[in-house]
Structures are given as C-alpha cells and as structure tokens.
Amino acid sequence: MKISTHALAVVLTSMLVFGAPLHAQQQPPAPATVSGQSPEAAMAKARLDGEIAAMNTGGWFGRSVAIGAVTGLLGTAVTYAVAATSTPELPTEKKLALANQLPDLQAVYEKGYADKVRAHRKSTSLKGGLLGTLVFLVLVGSSGS
C-alpha cells in the first residue's frame, strides 16, 4: 500500500493540530482537582460543607406544634409529608460564595445542603407535631369531663 505525500501531510497536520489522527477517539479530560485534592475528596468536602451550612437553618417546630394542636395526628402526618417533599433553596449569599467553584462541586454542595435541611425539617415537624397532638389530646380530654 502506497501512501501519497498529500495523505501523509494531512495525517501529520491533524496529529499536530488535534494531537491524534482524525479517526482516533480522544480521551475525556481528567477530572479537575481542587487545591491538590482528588476529585472524590473534593466532592466529599463540598457535600460536608453543604451539610454544615444547613445546620443553622430553622426547622418547622413552631408551625408543627400549632398544626398538631389544632388538627391532631392527621395534621402532624400532613406536616411531616410536606417537610419530606419540600425543596429547600440555597440562600443567595451562599450561591454567590460558590460562584467560583466547579459546577460539579456546586451541585454536590447544594444537594448536601438540601438533604440536610429536609432532614432537619422532617425531624422538627415530627417533634412539633407530636407535641401539638399531645396538646390536642389534652384539650379534647379535658373538654369531655
């Protein structure tokens, strides 16, 4: 098989420009590291940072007590279901602080934040709802005597 000089020039030029022949598949770029960390460590740190940031958020204790006191156990169940399906939003100042991070790290941070806020909401809504249900039962019980 004889290769023409024109074909050889095209192959060599493509190797110089693209780093490989035109028909070769290029490897996906390696994941970026953050300050020398492995990608897995950077993702774990971003998730932990999101969970830590969520610790200072308020729960739903007060409103759950009020709902439980008025509606009893049914209201507690509804409040818990709403808390479990809520979609917490990342505060604007936290979004701005994350703006210079890689998109994957931002997504992991936001997921860690949202999961922790949702878990906190579920916990406080259940506790508040049960306390409110206890108040409801005491009120119902005392009104009957």
SS3 string, 41-91, reads HHHHHHHHHHHHHHCCCCCCHHHHHHHHHHHCHHHHHHHHHHHHCCCCCCC
Query: Cβ(103)–Cβ(78) under 8 Å?
Result: no
pLDDT at 23: 43
Select the more confidently predicted residue: 144 or 26: 144
Rounded Cα distance, 35 and 27, in Å: 23
Over residues 1-58, the pLDDT tens digits come to 555 554 545 554 444 444 444 444 333 333 344 566 788 888 999 899 988 988 878 7
Task: Give the model confidence (pLDDT) of 75-131 as tens digits.
Answer: 999 999 999 998 898 888 888 888 888 889 999 999 999 999 999 999 999 999 999
CB atoms within 10 A of CB 93: 8
